[in-house]
A and B are shown apart, each in its own frame.
Chain A
């Protein structure tokens, strides 16, 4: 029983991170109808920038946590303006291929500059050690990642549902024609939303730096799990991606605990079952199915 509780807590902690990482993917799909395959590469950029800042500019983890999302926001805006916007009206496959291409280029650029073995990164000061609650023991950093991820998810949700800006964005993306008729400049909102999604991927990258290998290809495997999260939650649904993030974290932890060879397969079995029962995902809109 004790082990079960420990696995559950660990699963929730990992789930928070998955939810955050998948959030940007869901936002971009919801707003632009773009399946952003470069999300893993943006996540990787976040982690690489964090390591580079520490090594070359001596900027610590906390500075990176504030600075990297801003840089990636600007980078996302540039990518959207230069590349993505031209394909927005076309079939979804075009942007899928475009973003896949972008990810290949980014991964190879990082590989050229930094090799494949990866970059070193220390534990951030103040976040070392473990917390004990009864028999349960968790690394402080894991708890921090969980708390921070949930906080960001909550803020994004509040931003989109409770503010006027969020309302405009949702209106512009869900009913673009009608919004235009009401005098809303829809295309003005598309670019920052894309940048915002990229910035969230960057935050996940910064958080990953202290507990994941920082390599050019770190996003390539990760994006597969993120797509599973987004598909389970329902493409484009923010709440869905958060709930599914936790679900996937739990499934993975129980898998590792009780059926280790199947830990990753279980996630995809869950995905298959969800698609069979609810083709649009747990919280998806019908038309996305």
Chain B
């Protein structure tokens, strides 16, 4: 049944392609000589539009990409190679099978030249596979998995913002500040296991020790006994690797158990939307690695102010800023290449050294991991907060060349 569907789809898409060719050949010659496929650039934003990652990526990622398109048009005006730019978006529901189908549809039927965002590791890997098959570009911003630039890397896939090893680099800052003995609590699935491994290595490498790693079910509502168990080890730091609602469950119960006085809390992956939803009071003093913070400097702030006007007062997460940056650098590459041909655009991106609102000292590395300066952030206490969304103190900057792990030899770009 499935193969039959695929065959029908293949035939249908071939027919559509043939039709497109004939209509092109028969149509009037284009007024301006355009090197663009279908006469336009189509940017697909594929992410979670309704589920747990909606707020940190979702519709607001589409807004960020729209901002990049507006800026590109304003910058180049009549000289723009891509005069006609279309943004399409779809919901992958955090499911790899849905992501696979949606990506095929975007590339084949909606003429997408590039797909952006794609949070959720399994979904991102599915899209990377489709991109490699179709030889179309894919820049992942929202997912954390090391696989994208590891064994599953390919010439058409880039990993823009962060990964689990980069998140773990922040652990060094915590160890250096006296947090030597760690207990790590992690959800027992791919992301959590990956995070546990990355953090354990980083803590040990920084001269600390991990007394115990505790696996929890996922999803999980009740963490009371896990917290008791962790406390029994008398650690300096408790590292929690849960995300979204589970992270909120954990932090509420952690505070209720009076653990703040006994151990520091380090969070593996946190977005500013998490702090906003739980309230800064509950997270105060928590350390984590951030890829970007909206109120870090004037440039970030100006971007955040524009974003805020378009989104009812929300401030951008690092994923939103990352999508803006990815779309901008893609369009710049199209401009330099004079075409949207994926191989020619790719040649413009590879090895690029770049600075923009998101990427500071950014380099697009040979493994397509996009490295840049990252930050160790500490959540402000309630009385330090001066305005809504003003939640982070940046206590250290990790330079780009130290913020990301070495190139993985498993990545052969085939």
Contact = CB atoms under 8 A, between A and B. Distances in A.
Contacts of A121: 279
Nearest to B55: A117
B258 A139 contact: yes
A63 to B, nearest CB: 20
Contacts of A141: 256
Contacts of A3: 228-229, 232
A271 interface: no
B225 A222 contact: no
A276 B282 CA distance: 44
Contact of B257 (A115, A116, A130): A130
B273 interface: yes
Contacts, number: 112
A interface residue count range (under 10 / 10 to 19 / 20 to 34 / 35 or more):
35 or more
Contacts of A118: 245, 248, 277-278
A95 interface: no
Nearest to B220: A264
Given A130-B257, A217-B245, A7 B188 contact: no
A6 B55 contact: no
A80 interface: no
Interface stretch (A68-76, A160-168, A205-213): A205-213
B224 A13 contact: yes
B249 interface: yes
B273 to A, nearest CB: 5
B interface residue count range (under 10 / 10 to 19 / 20 to 34 / 35 or more):
35 or more
Interface string A2-15: 01001100110110
Interface string A182-205: 000000000000000000000000
Interface stretch (A26-34, A85-93, A234-242, A255-263): A255-263
A130 B215 contact: no
Contacts of A11: 225
Q: Of B50, B214, B223, B224, which is in contact with the most chain A CB atoms at under 10 Å from its CB? A: B224
B245 A257 contact: no
A212 B246 CA distance: 9
A260 B215 contact: yes
B77 interface: no
B312 to A, nearest CB: 11
Given A6-B228, A123-B255, A210-B252, A252 B54 contact: no
A139 B217 contact: no
A107 to B, nearest CB: 10
A213 B256 contact: no
A142 B227 CA distance: 14
A111 B52 CA distance: 10
Interface in A79-119: 111, 115-119
A116 B256 contact: no
B276 interface: yes
A120 B245 contact: no
A111 B226 contact: no
B54 A264 contact: no
Interface of A: 3, 6-7, 10-11, 13-14, 111, 115-123, 128-130, 137, 139, 141-142, 210-213, 215, 217-218, 221-222, 225, 252-253, 256-257, 260-261, 263-265
| 7 closest residue pairs by CB, A with B | A120-B279, A213-B248, A117-B277, A256-B225, A264-B217, A213-B245, A117-B55
6 contacts: A10-B224, A13-B224, A117-B273, A213-B246, A215-B248, A260-B215
